[in-house]
């Protein structure tokens, strides 16, 4: 896709740059600059730039905007929490993760072709198959949070690893807390 960057029309450069970011599978669907400009971004300076984009829709500074936008998307994806932790015996997405859920929902509603898999996990205590089912509950809780925000159900698959893929080994409260989680991964 790199060759597309040599073309200097703003829209195609925008598409090429997004493809080169390699984090979003924007399969050629054009991402309209003004749509992005309207959305609040987690990084404060991006919102400043977006109002400039409105005012300078056809100015050469749009190229700069284009270069910034993929970086913003990188920061968006990079800054977005992908791991959501759960309390013991709980399947409720805590308030502290609602910002992350929000961010993922926005990414996904902005690009209907994008898919994610949500992997649910438990700590090591208890039976393997029952823990597999508990992990599934956690994954589905995150999936539900996303679909409630408008993400289409076929963009999210909820699966479980139960206790089989701990993030941290050990039999301590700290380790257990780090393993009770759901992870959102791009497909």
Asked whether 118 and 142 are in contact (CB, 8 A), the reply is yes
Q: What value does the CA radius of gyration of the chain take, rounded to a whole number of Å?
A: 19
- Minimum CB separation of residue 120 from other proteins in Å reads 9
CB atoms within 10 A of CB 148: 10
Nearest Cα to Cα of residue 119 among 178, 161, 163, 169: 161
Among 117, 149, 167, 175, binds other proteins (CB under 8 A): 117
- Minimum CB separation of residue 158 from other proteins in Å reads 6
- Minimum CB separation of residue 112 from other proteins in Å reads 18
Binding to other proteins (CB under 8 A) within 126-155 occurs at 126-130, 132-134, 136-137, 140
The whole-angstrom separation of Cα 44 and Cα 56 is 19
Backbone torsions φ then ψ of 119, nearest 5 degrees: -105, 120
Taking the least distance from each CB to other proteins, the nearer of 33 and 158 is: 158
- 119 touches other proteins by CB under 8 A: yes
- Minimum CB separation of residue 9 from other proteins in Å reads 39
Asked whether 33 and 65 are in contact (CB, 8 A), the reply is yes
Q: Which residues bind other proteins (CB under 8 A)?
A: 117, 119, 126-130, 132-134, 136-137, 140, 157-162, 164-165
């Amino acid at each position: 896709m790199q060759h597309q960057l040599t073309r200097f029309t703003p829209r195609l450069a925008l598409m090429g740059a997004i493809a080169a970011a390699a984090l979003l599978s924007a399969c050629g669907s054009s991402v309209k600059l003004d749509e992005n400009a309207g959305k609040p971004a987690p990084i404060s300076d991006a919102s400043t730039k977006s109002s400039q984009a409105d005012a300078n829709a056809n100015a050469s500074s749009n190229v700069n905007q284009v270069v910034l936008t993929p970086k913003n998307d990188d920061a968006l994806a990079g800054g977005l929490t992908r791991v959501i932790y759960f309390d013991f015996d709980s399947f409720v997405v805590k308030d502290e993760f609602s910002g992350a859920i929000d961010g993922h929902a926005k990414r996904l509603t902005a690009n209907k072709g994008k898919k994610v898999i949500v992997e649910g996990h438990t700590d090591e205590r208890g039976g393997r198959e029952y823990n597999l089912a508990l992990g599934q509950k956690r994954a589905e809780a995150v999936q539900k949070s996303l679909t409630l925000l408008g993400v289409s159900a076929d963009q999210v698959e909820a699966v479980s690893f139960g206790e089989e893929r701990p993030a941290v080994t050990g039999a301590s409260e700290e380790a257990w807390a780090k393993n009770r989680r759901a992870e959102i991964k791009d497909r």
